[in-house]
A and B are shown apart, each in its own frame.
Chain A
Amino acid sequence: MSDVPLLAVENLSVSYPLKRGLFGGALTLAAVRDVSFTIERGRTFGLVGESGSGKSSIGRAILGLTPSSGGRVVFDGTDVSAFGERLPLSFRREVQVIFQDPLSSLNPRQTVGTTIGQAIHRHHDVSHQQCQREIATVLDSVGLAAYQAERYPYELSGGQRQRVAIARALAVRPRLIICDEPVSALDVSTQSQVINLLIDLQHAFGLSYLFIAHNLDVVRHISHSIGVLYLGRLVEAGPADTVYSAPAHPYTQMLLASTLVADPRAQAVRSQARRRQPRSEPPSPLSPPPGCPFNTRCAWAADVCRTQMPTFEAAASQDRHAACHRIDAVASSPRLGGEKVARSAG
């Protein structure tokens, strides 16, 4: 195996042209600005952020569903961003996707078997019988029975539909799967089934994941590394353990303090921490504040934060990075770490 990461995203920017203003001035929404990260083979990179943070746009730009306006996407040493939306078929075979809403991500007029079968036929030259066998195998690997190939999406439960969506992605035997909020639309019990399945499949097939979600606890559970997005910028990235247990950036701290845990005592600690946070609304992505995008909601914000964009640099350790002018001041104050929530005995 080479040292080249499976996927390297370098200074990626994505912007959307919005409708023109009243006086003809074109309005652009900078959804992603200058984001860089890498995904290693067989590992999971978790991207966490709130709505408007640009997390889904990053996934869509990698998949060529949305044009990028700057930067590069390098897959296995090859720069694929130059292809624009017409990515080569070989890339399509290597990189697949699972979306949030399994009902709208499956064609309502096609059976499960047809949906998976066309994926296989497009990428592998197989006979009809081979294809049927392949469909049965891939359904089996996501925990569905072969007879369910005859079913239409509306006949399945939410969890089963998401399994079908996973099966469709697996059918072409990819190396990287972009998981865009794959469990947010599911109930708690189904959510854990799907997370377990994704972890099992990663081990079985050596898959890499880009796992995009808004829930830090879910991302933490499945990811080896985590990147935290705020208003289109990566504000912190590093090994999952470090980012979760000792968040360096004030926004990561706010996010962690706001994430609710199903444990009244641990939650009491978190809510105390979050009540210390300043109360404010996130600014509109259309007009982000000058300087650090988080300065309007940050307890540590100083003058420099309101004028100058902080650089993304190593914080505390080599492999953890954060974009914050006041990283040292933040680090020296008491803060909340998302330590493992142990069940107290009573």
Chain B
Amino acid sequence: MSAGTIADERSDAAVVEPESDVRSHTRLWQRLARRPLSLTCIAYLVLLFVLAIGAPLVAPYDPFHPDIKLRLQGPSAVHWLGTDDLGRDTLSRLIFGARTALLASFQSVSFGAVVGITTGLVVGYLGGWFDRIAMRVADVMQSIPAVLLALALIGVLGKGLGNAMLAVGVIFSVSFMRITRAVVLAEKEQLYVDAARVLGLRTLSIMLRQILPNISPPLIVQASIALGTALLIEAMLSFLGVGIDSTQVSWGAMLETARQFQSQQPLLPIFPGLAITLSVLAFNLLGDSLRDATLPTGATAESSISRRTVAPFAVSPTSVHRPEAPADALLAVSGLTVAAPRPGGGSAELLSDVSFHVMRGETLGLVGESGCGKSMTALAVMGLLPPAVSIAAGSIRLAGTELAGLDDDAMRQVRGRRVGMVFQEPMAALSPVHTVGRQISDAVRAHTGLGRRQALARAAELLALVGVPDPHRRLQDYPHQFSGGMAQRVVIAGALACEPELLIADEPTTALDVTIQAQVLDLLMDLRQRLSMSVLLITHDLGVVADACDRLAVMYGGEVVETGNVEATFSHPRHPYTAALLAAMPRGEGVGSRLATIPGRVPPAWAWPQGCRFHPRCAHAVAACRQEPNILRHGVRCRRADELTLTDAR
């Protein structure tokens, strides 16, 4: 039946939703190439490879050709790096030595990686007995030093670099196995692995095609560092004289020779020593760079943007009509514009001309979908904007004090004394290593100067105030001993420590269960009344607004699109977005009835549409909406507010 409706739905979704035009996920190599240090390491290692592979062509002399007349010479035009005790050319021997070093390292690391990653995948994914046996074997293996095992293996299998490096590979395989197992254990809990199992994909395919690509970054890093270690071990074994045979050249063996003739030719140990040090360093630094480059955060891009002040914008003509907040408002935000530098240069307005006010003793709901700027507004009021984000225009007045432009010290005074804040995740807001009593009493002492004992008594009072049973005993408890709802009460108690005039609550109940959410909302409303505070309640849930707020401000695309009394706005929304949001809420209609939808999604801050920011998703948009921005007039930012009848939207 519904082929038609599905097709309609598609046209909504596919046509209106803009593709994310910024493919921010750059390739690993591009990210590596942006760092000079990693570029240097890569260049050095590439050079080393080229020399090793092309050694017979590049080397000026045969590395084994002795010339007794020219023994132990210093650098000269003929022998650039001099000669050794048998008159062999040091440069040529270094070049051939690179061959041995790289070959040995790659042999051992590839053996270790193949064996270790395979075992790690299997034991990590299948677990059970495989896992227990493998881990005990690994424990034993890791207690044996690699060099010792190599010497033992040489003792059994006979001298030779191959045997020695096999032993090193075995040791490596254990560390590869441990790392692989650890990341597989974390990765197999991911839902996409569950989805693959539900699809009936084969276990082998899940391990190789689903999990392996996602765990490769730490393994690549490990391989790079292991290559450095292997190179060092090869040199060490050759130095001891158990590695290479007479047909090979090794940097370690060169060092050993140099040791004997150091008194006659002091330059002799320098070159092989440098070669070893530089190569190991290059592998290790490359490993570090790889680790940084594979970190999920674009940390480098962020840090390169310095904290700077954006010059205030010229007052735009639209802000002339800005509604005046009542003179006795506790918090009056007016024309607030917040800007951040864009990834590509220039700056983007995260908030534009945001105006609203909160009266004393009132609860204002700041409501909107994710990305609408409601949390950014709260951070701006608290003076907690992230680095590089700054207030470009507008004012934030708290009972007559201008907060915009206050320095950090002054802002800290305001935050603790006059404004309290409650966040979404109670556990993230509490320190896990301190008792709840310590955390609340610290907050009390910071703002009141009370003594320790009095502060603790005050903390107990606060806990009692927010409805934590048995407050005196619970002061000694740590946050993890509280349930989610109780922990949120503790956070609220901490925010109340300074008897704030304004409490800012950013999604305070979103992380809580339904029945607990209701209790916490009741608590906030009760506290507001008893302490005659104002509450700025930030939420995405219109149900929370309906339950707990007196007035609301609806945000969309970094702007306030509608403000008003909750009851009036809910029964007669005036902005099409408010109406559409209300209509999209399921509210107990019978099964199968269609919900109203808003096509598309909230655009990102760097791509606000021209004209009215909601027009691409608006069912009532006309030509003018596409060209000219709207202003907030009589509590609504819509040029068609007066002609539209939106109550029928549902």
Among A65, A215, A223, A224, the residue within 8 A (CB) of B194 is A65
Query: Shortest distance in angstroms between A171's beta carbon and chain B's nearest beta carbon?
Result: 9
* Cβ contacts under 8 Å, B194 to chain A: 60, 63, 65, 97, 99, 105
- Tell me if B195 and A221 are in contact (CB < 8 A): no
Which chain A positions have C-beta within 8 A of B596?
Answer: 192
Question: Is A119 a contact of B199 with CB atoms below 8 Å?
Answer: yes
Q: Which residue of B lies closest to A195 (CB)?
A: B595
B593 interface residue, CB < 8 Å from A? Answer: yes
CB of A330 closer than 8 Å to a CB of B: no
User: Digit string of B176-213 for contact with A (CB within 8 Å is 1, else 0)?
Assistant: 00000000000000111011111111000100011001
Contact of A192 among B20, B198, B213, B597 (CB under 8 A): B597
Q: Check A196–B595 contact: CB distance below 8 A.
A: yes
Instruction: Answer whether residue B515 sits at the interface, using C-beta atoms and an 8 A cutoff.
Output: yes
Interchain CB contact under 8 A, A65 and B214 = no
Q: Which residue of B lies closest to A200 (CB)?
A: B2
User: Is A140 a contact of B10 with CB atoms below 8 Å?
Assistant: yes
Interface residue? A255 (CB, 8 A): yes
Chain B residues, CB < 8 A from A145: 10, 14
The B-contacting residues of A in range 209-227, CB under 8 angstroms, are: 214-218, 220-224
- Inter-chain contacts of B13 with A (CB < 8 A): 143-144, 159-160, 163, 193
The answer to whether A259 and B485 have CB atoms under 8 Å apart is no
- In the assembled complex, the Cα of A163 lies from the Cα of B601 at a distance in Å of 14
CB < 8 Å neighbour of A265 from B17, B540, B567? B567
Docked CA distance A244–B515 (Å): 16
Partner of B547, one of A214, A224, A271: A271
Number of interface residues of A (CB under 8 A): 102
Nearest neighbor of B598 in chain A, beta-carbon distance: A189
Is A263 on the interface with B (CB-CB < 8 A)? Answer: yes
Interface size class of B (residues with CB under 8 A): 35 or more
Of A2-10, A12-20, A30-38, A338-346, the one with at least 4 CB within 8 A of chain B: A338-346
Q: Inside 8 A of A65's CB, which chain B residues have their CB?
A: 194, 197-198
Task: Write out the residue numbers on chain B whose beta carbons fall within 8 Å of the beta carbon of A122.
Answer: 199-201
User: B6 near A341 (CB under 8 angstroms)?
Assistant: no
- Would B586 and A217 count as touching, CB distance under 8 A? yes
- Residues of chain B within 8 A (CB-CB) of A267 are 543, 546-547
B residues at A contact (CB < 8 Å): 1-3, 5-6, 9-10, 12-14, 17, 19-20, 23, 25, 190-192, 194-201, 205, 209-210, 213-214, 369-370, 467, 483, 485-486, 513-519, 522, 540-547, 566-567, 570-572, 580-582, 584-599, 601-602, 647, 650
Given A261-B585, A340-B589, 19 further pairs, Cβ under 8 A? A96-B199, A107-B192, A145-B10, A158-B601, A168-B199, A187-B370, A187-B601, A188-B585, A195-B595, A204-B2, A204-B3, A204-B6, A218-B586, A255-B514, A259-B543, A263-B587, A264-B567, A271-B518, A282-B515
Binding site for B on A (CB under 8 A): 44, 50-51, 60, 63-65, 87, 89, 92-93, 95-97, 99-101, 104-110, 118-119, 122-123, 140-141, 143-145, 148, 152, 154-160, 163, 165, 168, 172, 187-193, 195-197, 199-201, 203-204, 214-218, 220-224, 240-241, 244, 254-255, 257-267, 270-271, 274-275, 279, 281-282, 338-341, 343-346
